[in-house]
Amino acid sequence: MELPYEEGDPIPQGYRLIEQKRRGLIIGGSIVTGVPWALSLTAATSSNFDNKSGFLVVPVLGPWLMLLAGGAKDGECGSDDFCSGDKSGTRAVLVLDGLAQTAGAVMFVAGIAIPRKRLVRADVTVGVTPTPLGRDGYGLSAVGTF
């Protein structure tokens, strides 16, 4: 049995306070960072790391470093307001990629740095032990005191 806990509340008798990492934020942050990073790494590899896309190897900072280094700079523009080397789409994708990776990294760090506190019963113990089943089989059984 669990009870919610807020900082400064008294701990009721029979309960103990535990701190637990926020697994949802850690898993979600890993996915939100990892998927865009893997996609940008795949794009950089397929282009043979041209146009300073080698920066994309660095998770979270890679898209920002590539933008700073000028990897998505426009080509030469003519007098007719048409740029043959327009890379505004690439810049937009890099910004979106950088924002997604940064958001995921913030989620991951928050999941580790801000643990969840809760109260659990101190007198409840549960254990798992191997148990013979039938003549030749084995299984697991739960043993506990309440």
pLDDT in tens, 104-131: 999 999 999 999 988 888 877 778 888 8
Taking 80 as the threshold, does the pLDDT of residue 90 lie above it? yes
Confidence of residue 80 (pLDDT cuts 50, 70, 90): low
What pLDDT was estimated at residue 4? Answer: 80
pLDDT tens digits for 98-111? 999 999 999 999 99
Confidence of residue 6 (pLDDT cuts 50, 70, 90): confident
Percent of the chain topping pLDDT 70: 92
Task: Name residue, tokens 């898209």.
Answer: 63
